Amino acid sequence: MALSSYLSIEVIEEADTWQIQHHLGSEIPSDAENLLVQTALRIAPELKPHVLKMTSDIPLTRGLGSSSSVIVAGIELANRLQQLNLPLHEKIRLATVIEGHPDNVAPAFCGNLVVAAYVEDTLHYATHHFPECDVIAFIPKRPLATSESRGRLPRELPYKDAVAASAIANVMVAAVSNGNLPLAGQLMEEDRWHEPYRAALVPWLSRIRDLGHRHGAYGTFLSGAGPTVLMLTPSEVTASLLAALAPLAEEIDATVESLSVDQEGVQVF
């Protein structure tokens, strides 16, 4: 699902070379090596260099889709500057090929909830309105490399386990579609695809989940590969949960943010 954290790109002017103005740290390139430019040139190799301003409130390597947002922005940048008039499905397909999966790029383009599959080089996706709720993000300041988190996943699952995991996921999606967030949240916490294997890397997940149960959250789950933990909450319990999470955030050096589900996806002004 798309959340209310944003990457913004401002096109300043044409230039002799690509220049990216940003304050995201020295590890982020400020020239043609930047993922934004690399993505745009992959879509439109003849694109002329520009001076661009990049701002982002999406933390890096925290499981919140920071790289996906740059890929989406690069495709939209090429689409607009080169007047390619790419249809939405093609934008998502291109982003999926670059990212390797549609999990983050599809909702970034569409907004709301997107259920997507990329199997044998074929993209399928369906969008749906996400029920009204708040989203609390518990974001540790210590990063967790996706490769490390992905390395904890098993290469194979027994057939019986895969059937059970699929059944839980399918009913969860159906519950979201019906607006039944209590059931959806319960099933999110019963995930069998990835959380049991990654739990050791995110030991605070169980503590946050316990707080959620005590304060009336719908459900608590890992955001992507982690280490960020997301919590779906009714608006009337958000304040009490934010207060309850504050001591844990101080203990493990994390920030806690109250977000919402973005309804629009990528926008161009």
- The per-residue pLDDT for range 165-214, each reduced to its tens digit, is 999 999 999 999 999 999 999 999 999 999 999 988 999 999 999 999 99
Q: Could you tell me if 131 and 235 are in contact, meaning their C-beta atoms sit under 8 angstroms apart?
A: no
SS3 content of the chain, % helix, strand, coil (to 5): 40, 20, 40
Q: Could you tell me if 249 and 138 are in contact, meaning their C-beta atoms sit under 8 angstroms apart?
A: yes
pLDDT-derived band of residue 72, with 50, 70 and 90 as boundaries? very high
pLDDT at 146: 74
Looking at domain 7-128, its CATH architecture is 2-Layer Sandwich (3.30)
Q: How far is CA 75 from CA 35, 65, 252, in A?
A: 11, 16, 37
| Class at the top of the CATH hierarchy for domain 134-259 | alpha beta
pLDDT-derived band of residue 223, with 50, 70 and 90 as boundaries? very high
> Which residues are CB-contacts of 70 (< 8 A; sequence separation ≥ 6)?
7, 34, 35, 36, 39
Rounded distance between C-alpha atoms, residue 133 and residue 261, angstroms: 8
Q: What pTM was computed for the model?
A: 0.92
Taking residue 110's Cβ as centre, other Cβ atoms within 10 Å add up to 24
The boundaries of every CATH 3.30.70.890 domain in the chain are 134-259
- Within 13 Å and on the Cβ side, how many CA atoms surround 160? 0
The boundaries of every CATH 3.30.230.10 domain in the chain are 7-128
Percent of the chain with pLDDT over 70: 100
Provide mean pLDDT across the span 97-114.
96
Closest CA to 135 of 255, 223, 231: 231
